[in-house]
Amino acid sequence: MPLSYIERILRARVYDVAIETPLTRATLLSRRIGNQVSLKREDLQPIFSFKLRGAYNKLVQLDADARSRGVIAASAGNHAQGVALGASRLGLSAIIVMPRTTPMIKVQAVRNLGAKAVLHGDSYDEAYGHAQILAAERALTFIHPFDDPDVIAGQGTIGMEILRQHPDPPDAIFVPVGGGGLIAGIAAYVKYVQPSVRVIGVEPTEAPTLERALAAGRPIELAQVGLFADGVAVRRIGDETFRVAQRTVDEVVLVDSDEICAAIKDIFDDTRGIAEPAGALAVAGLKRYAQRHGLRDASLIAIESGANINFDRLRHVAERAELGERREALLAVEIPERPGSFYSFCRTLGRRQITEFNYRYADPRRAQVFVGVELGGGDRERTDLIARLEAKGLSVLDMTDNETAKLHIRYMVGGHAPDLTDERLIRFEFPERPGALLDFLAALGRRWNISLFHYRNHGAAYGRVLMGIQAPPDDWPAIHEQLATCGVSFWDETDNPAYHLFAGAGTGRVAAPR
């Protein structure tokens, strides 16, 4: 690694605004997974995120002319607050362009720090483009959230602190990855000072920017990224961050949203702090890596990178945490519709904790039960339970990993429509802002009948909707074409077995795939 990055990190000006955060032992998690786990508590920074390190270090390096003209940034959250706080401390004027989907709590936080918040577009990419236009028109200096050497160096001070706080070299450091500024800075320093320490990136399965780039040997742009961990929902890793990461990062671990929710709960159990999804990403990756490699008594560190989570999202996190830890199974079980069969079914479940039970009479011969069961033995116990139910002659569908069942169907049990014809089921995600649903329905048009609709607000930037549309088969090419022009992400769920069991036409038999 070129010495220039080590010099930049050693000289970085971050402590005018940032604090040296503690390295906290995660006692409960350590005991449960059989390793020595520590958390680098960047959630304790003044803006509840590491982002002010890089933002301030960039701002403080600007010359007098650039400072006098002011700065601009594009961000939906943590970088925005970092730039706003740094500009305030240095007496600079600052504009932050934020997507219209940004929760108002984050917009207000930027304004409270003295910056001007401009709302534009529905995504970071649209906000970024508008910020570039304003920067050119007003001769403002653009402060990039990750792809800048001074920003990378500011984030690299975290690596410097870790090696100072942990006298013996740890076995591995797990770092969340979005645009790559954090992992590039940490890896540059750690690999120069302690080359034996493994630096492992962690990404959501829905946004594997670094993993794909490493496989391709160059940055590539993803067609679409998932938005649950919005702090790392980046479609393309930076050129400079990739150049550094390619030389210094050992590997990348991918985790799903349920595993992230479980990690948020792990952090809460150990620290009573509440991480945002991106903030808990490294803990989720640490757990998966330790299990995959059968690690015991290893010294592992995870960067808890931020805690800017909307209170509304905690409901969704709590619902999914047990699934992410494989401590809950979601099952659809068909039982005979006769006296005593329900009691017999409950006896077969045994004295396990029931987390959810949904049932409604729909057929004189058989009944479909949607049940959540708490597990103590993970996937093995789930497999054994299913085998036990099937040995009793019951038909079981495992829905533990069925996203449509987890997001929508579990709240719609009993919604069969026996006389309905030509219905197809579509799952949507669209930008969550006032009027967004109305705009979407207007774009879809009035030609086709909406026969099913389910929506829940998860406090996120994107709304999730399940919709049934009635239309003759010949109309479906036109419908798909119309949906594609609406600017929303969508998935056809018509063949999803959970839909046929609990919400589709007919009486709850799984339909043959189309």
| Residue 416 domain-assigned (yes or no) | yes
Question: Which residues touch 84 (CB under 8 Å, ≥6 apart)?
Answer: 94, 96, 109, 110, 113, 114, 115
Query: What's the pLDDT score for residue 501?
Result: 80
Q: Which of 51, 106, 287, 406 is catalytic?
A: 51
Query: What's the pLDDT score for residue 191?
Result: 97
Query: What's the pLDDT score for residue 105?
Result: 74
Query: What's the pLDDT score for residue 329?
Result: 87
Question: How far is 290 from 363, CA to CA, in rounded Å?
Answer: 47
51 included as an active-site residue? yes
428: amino acid identity, one letter = F
Per-residue pLDDT tens digits for 163-212: 999 989 999 999 999 999 999 999 999 999 999 999 999 999 989 999 99
Residue 434 has pLDDT above 80, yes or no: no
Query: What stretches of 131-237 adopt beta strand conformation (E)?
Result: 141-142, 172-176, 198-204
In terms of domains, do 192 and 266 share one?
Answer: yes
Residue 462 has pLDDT above 80, yes or no: no
| Residue 508 domain-assigned (yes or no) | no
| Residue 102 domain-assigned (yes or no) | yes
Pick the range with the lowest mean pLDDT from 259-263, 351-355, 383-387, 495-499: 351-355
**CATH number of the structural domain spanning residue 430:** 3.40.1020.10
* Cβ-contact 61, 150 below 8 angstroms: yes
Query: What's the pLDDT score for residue 513?
Result: 35
Residue range 4-27: mean pLDDT, rounded = 96
In terms of domains, do 389 and 262 share one?
Answer: no
Question: How far is 201 from 230, CA to CA, in rounded Å?
Answer: 17
Residue range 438-444: mean pLDDT, rounded = 70
In terms of domains, do 202 and 290 share one?
Answer: yes
User: Higher pLDDT residue, 195 or 430?
Assistant: 195
Query: What's the pLDDT score for residue 366?
Result: 76
Query: What's the pLDDT score for residue 1?
Result: 47
Structural domains in the chain (count) = 4
Query: What's the pLDDT score for residue 345?
Result: 79
- Cα-trace Rg, the chain: 25
Query: What's the pLDDT score for residue 162?
Result: 98
| Residue 194 domain-assigned (yes or no) | yes
Query: What's the pLDDT score for residue 413?
Result: 67
Query: What's the pLDDT score for residue 467?
Result: 81
Residue range 489-506: mean pLDDT, rounded = 81
In terms of domains, do 357 and 425 share one?
Answer: no
Residue range 112-121: mean pLDDT, rounded = 93
Residue 36 has pLDDT above 70, yes or no: yes
Query: Percentage of the chain with pLDDT > 90?
Result: 53
If one counts every other C-beta atom within 10 angstroms of the C-beta of residue 220, the result is 15
CA atoms within 13 A on the CB side of 418: 3
Question: How far is 238 from 268, CA to CA, in rounded Å?
Answer: 32
* Cβ-contact 82, 112 below 8 angstroms: no
In terms of domains, do 286 and 185 share one?
Answer: yes
Question: How far is 459 from 456, CA to CA, in rounded Å?
Answer: 9
Structure tokens that stand for 346 in this block? 């409950």
In terms of domains, do 13 and 118 share one?
Answer: no
Per-residue pLDDT tens digits for 274-328: 999 999 999 999 999 999 999 999 999 999 999 988 787 887 788 778 777 777 8
Q: What confidence tier does 363 reach under pLDDT thresholds 50, 70, 90? A: low
In terms of domains, do 379 and 393 share one?
Answer: yes
Global pTM exceeds 0.85? no
Question: Which residues touch 218 (CB under 8 Å, ≥6 apart)?
Answer: 242
In terms of domains, do 138 and 180 share one?
Answer: no
In terms of domains, do 387 and 279 share one?
Answer: no
* Cβ-contact 280, 429 below 8 angstroms: no
Structure letter (DSSP) for residue 44:
G
Per-residue pLDDT tens digits for 222-244: 988 877 888 888 889 999 999 99
Question: How far is 224 from 462, CA to CA, in rounded Å?
Answer: 13
Residue 61 has pLDDT above 90, yes or no: yes
User: Higher pLDDT residue, 331 or 459?
Assistant: 331
End residue of a domain, out of 109, 142, 175: 142
| Residue 315 domain-assigned (yes or no) | yes
Question: Which residues touch 93 (CB under 8 Å, ≥6 apart)?
Answer: 70, 71, 87, 116
Residue 17 has pLDDT above 90, yes or no: yes
In terms of domains, do 58 and 45 share one?
Answer: no
The alpha helices in 272-392, defined as continuous H runs, are: 277-292, 314-324, 341-349, 378-391
Reduced to 3 states, what is the DSSP secondary structure of residue 492?
Answer: strand
- Closest to 67 in 3D by CA, of 75, 76, 58: 58
Residue range 261-270: mean pLDDT, rounded = 95
Per-residue pLDDT tens digits for 473-485: 888 888 888 777 7
| Residue 245 domain-assigned (yes or no) | yes
End residue of a domain, out of 296, 320, 344: 320
Question: Which residues touch 446 (CB under 8 Å, ≥6 apart)?
Answer: none
Average model confidence (pLDDT) across the chain: 87
Residue 361 has pLDDT above 70, yes or no: no
58 included as an active-site residue? no
Reduced to 3 states, what is the DSSP secondary structure of residue 152?
Answer: helix
Query: What's the pLDDT score for residue 244?
Result: 97
What is the CA 254 to chain-centroid distance, rounded?
11
Query: What's the pLDDT score for residue 104?
Result: 76
- Closest to 98 in 3D by CA, of 461, 430, 429, 438: 461
| Residue 509 domain-assigned (yes or no) | no
User: 155: domain range?
Assistant: 3-50+149-320
Structure tokens that stand for 498 in this block? 């959970």
Query: Percentage of the chain with pLDDT > 70?
Result: 90
Q: Which of 106, 305, 406, 451 is catalytic?
A: 305
End residue of a domain, out of 401, 426, 442: 401
In terms of domains, do 311 and 181 share one?
Answer: yes
Angle in degrees, CA 402, 407, 411, rounded to 5? 110
Residue 359 has pLDDT above 80, yes or no: no
In terms of domains, do 39 and 162 share one?
Answer: yes
Query: What's the pLDDT score for residue 56?
Result: 98
H/E stretch holding 367 reads strand 366-374
| Residue 513 domain-assigned (yes or no) | no
Per-residue pLDDT tens digits for 132-156: 999 999 999 999 999 999 999 999 9
Q: Is 477 exposed, middle or buried (0-12, 13-18, 19+ CB in 10 A)?
A: exposed
**CATH number of the structural domain spanning residue 129:** 3.40.50.1100
Distances (CA, A) of 271 to 39, 139, 173, 216, 268: 10, 45, 19, 39, 5
Residue 456 has pLDDT above 80, yes or no: no
